[in-house]
Structures are given as C-alpha cells and as structure tokens.
Chains A and B, each alone.
Chain A
Amino acid sequence: MATTQDDSLIIETVMLAGKIMVENGADMARVDSTLKRIACNAGIDEPKIFETTTGITMSIPRRYQAQVEPITKRTIDLEKVSRVNEASRAFQAHKMTLQEFYNKLVEIDTAAPFFAFYWQLIAAALMGALLVIMYGSSWEDFLPTVIVSALGFSCFYFFNTRFKIRFVSEFIAALVIGFFAVIFVRMHFGTTVNQITIGALMPLVPGVPLTNAVRDLLAGHILSGIARGAEAALSACALGLGIAFILRFM
C-alpha cells in the first residue's frame, strides 16, 4: 500500500506535466492521454483527471487525495510540449523513477531552449514575404513585405514581453504594419497595400489556438475548445481593429 507522501508526489508530477503542456499550447486530447498514462505508470488504476485551459484537477479514488492547479498564463512553446512527451515516454519505459521524472519536469519548465530573438525576427520577416509571393503577388512586393513584417513582429515581441497583454500588442503591431504598408506604397516602394499587409500579418495570426480549438471541439473537450476559440477570435479582432483603424484614417 502506497503512503500518502507517494500519492502526493504522483499528483504533483501529473499536475506539473499537465501545467507545462497546457501553458505552452498542447491540445487537450494529448494532455489527457499523457496525464492518464503517467498516472497509470505510477501505479494508479483509475485516475480521475479533469483539465481545462485555465486549470487542472486530479484525484485518486478511495485514497482521499486531490489537488487543483490553476493555469494563469498561456504562451506558445511547442519545444516544451515535445519534451514533456519524450520524458513521459521514458518514464513509461521505466528508464527513470518518479522522483527523477519530477525533477526532469521542473528542469523543462524553467530551462528549455528557445530560438533567439533574431532568429525569430528573420523567420517572421521571411515568412511574410514568402507568403506574399505564394498568394500570387508581384516580386516588387517582396522587399517591402520583408521590412514591414520585421517591423510588425519586433513591435509585437517588444510589447508582448514587456506588458504581458497579448491583445494590446497585437493591436499595436497591426497599426504599425498598416501604417508602414501605406507609407511604403505612397513612396512607390512596393505596389499593393493589400498584399503587403496580408503577408506581414501572417506571422501574427493565432494559428495555434485556432487549430487547437478545432481539435479540442472534435475530441469532445467542448469547454477548452470554446475557450481557445474565444482566445483566437479576440486575437483576430485585435489585428483587424488595428488594420481597420489605419484604413479608415489614411
């Protein structure tokens, strides 16, 4: 018979794994299956786990053990999701003990490698310009889009890391993108405002919440699906509002 301390460690491990996955943008079906697998491998026959995008709760039947873990921030970092997945596979294959697994999770949560800012900037700038060409625009729009995307993304990054309000940073980034697209075309640097703006907005599109919303809804996690859908809709509205502002007054 396991002691209370063991039960407590099991629950804490499961909670931490779930928290990292939900915070960094995993879909609920995967979170659910991973957490159940961890709990089963730790020796619990029928764990009761309930997870939403804003919190997780887990209890062990007949042992009077339950905990709640609130989730307050949501970012996107799929590297962490992937690492939790790998660690849980290793735990399943009995390559590490529960305590080691817990330490590994703490390590993942605090220190996972992230692409440096300049790499992200290059990626965002390139991506906008590539998509403009893919959508059938002329090559003259390539260079302006690179510059406008880079400006928009760095603006988004700056406000997002300083002020922690995602929707405001999206709004300001959209303002900057619209403003410079219009200015560049007036200076005859680039041909169409529409194409440049669309390309430059693409790196900011809420792709992860959108895809996850659909997946969650299809997998039966209605609550999380709707929450994520609302998040994606708010982001899209913030972007649209910024652009509408520019188009109305310039």
Chain B
Amino acid sequence: MTWIINALFSYLASIAFGVIINIPRRALHACGFVGMFGWLTYMFVKQIEGGVMMANLVSALAIGVCSIFVARWQKMPTILFNIPSLVPLVPGGQAYQAVRFFALNNNILAISYLVQVAMIAGAIAMGFFLSELVGQLYFKISNR
C-alpha cells in the first residue's frame, strides 16, 4: 500500500514541479514517470538497508540514465526530465534541521546536519556524473 501511494505521489509531484518551471505540456507525462522511477529506486535501496547516501546515488543514477534515454526518444533537452524528477531527493529535511539548530544556538548539531546536506548533494552529483558516463558509453558503442 505504501509503495502504491509513493509511486502515485512521486508521479504527481514531478508533474507539479514541471508545471511550476513550465516544461512543455507533452513532456509532462514522461517526466512524471521518470520521477516515479527515481523515487521507487530510492525507496528500494533504502528498504534493503543500503543507507541514505547509497540510495541518493543510485536514484540519481537511475534518473540520469532514464532521462537521457527519454530525451533521445522524445527529441527534447535532457533537463526537462531530470530536474523535476530530482526534486524529491533534494535534502530539504536536513537543510531545514541545520537552519533550525543554527537558529536555536545549537551549532554542533547544526553543523552535523550541514555535513549531511553536503554529502547528499555530493552523492546526487556523483550519480549524475555516472549517468552521463553510462549515456556516453552506450551511444559510443551503439553508434559503432
């Protein structure tokens, strides 16, 4: 049940962010599915005790690869698909906690949250980097 709700909600949330940044109407549907795929990957890795960093990295990789192929298929820029899909992964919760503890004068806890934010952001960037690599490798091999 949780999985179904999460799948549906991640699909809708990706589309909603797509509307806010005004992506073309015919890309909305595909973008929702990329977002759903990414979030389910994230939940799956967390479920098998992979840890938050690993979950973010694998999920960013999945979103990156998926959006590269969808972009090829739809003949549209890649960023239309990966920006809205990435939104659920943004470490908003940790960033919020960091700000909260800074405001409450508890600097040590705040910095530990800030480090978490930086590490998650790094993991997402790394996932993207790997997905670019996978995409370029694939197109190099298939063009040969």
Contacts and interface: CB of A to CB of B under 8 A. Distances in A.
Contacts of A214: 124-125, 128
Interface string B23-37: 110010000000000
Interface in B51-68: none
For the complex, would chain A's binding face be called helix, strand, loop or mixed by DSSP majority?
Answer: helix
Contact of B87 (A83, A197, A202): A202
B90 interface: yes
For the complex, would chain B's binding face be called helix, strand, loop or mixed by DSSP majority?
Answer: helix
Nearest to B93: A198
A120 interface: yes
A57 interface: no
Contacts of A210: 90
Contact of A130 (B13, B22, B79): B13
Range of interface residues on A (Cβ < 8 Å): 35 or more
B76 interface: yes
A65 B143 CA distance: 37
B1 interface: no
Interface residues of B, number: 46
A134 B35 CA distance: 13
A169 to B, nearest CB: 14
A108 B5 CA distance: 39
Nearest to A213: B125
Interface string A170-205: 000000000000000000000000100110011101
Contact of A201 (B6, B92, B128): B92
A203 B103 contact: no
Contact of A78 (B16, B79, B129): B79
A107 B97 CA distance: 45
B104 interface: yes
Interface string B118-136: 0000001100110010000
Interface stretch (A12-20, A98-106, A242-250): A242-250
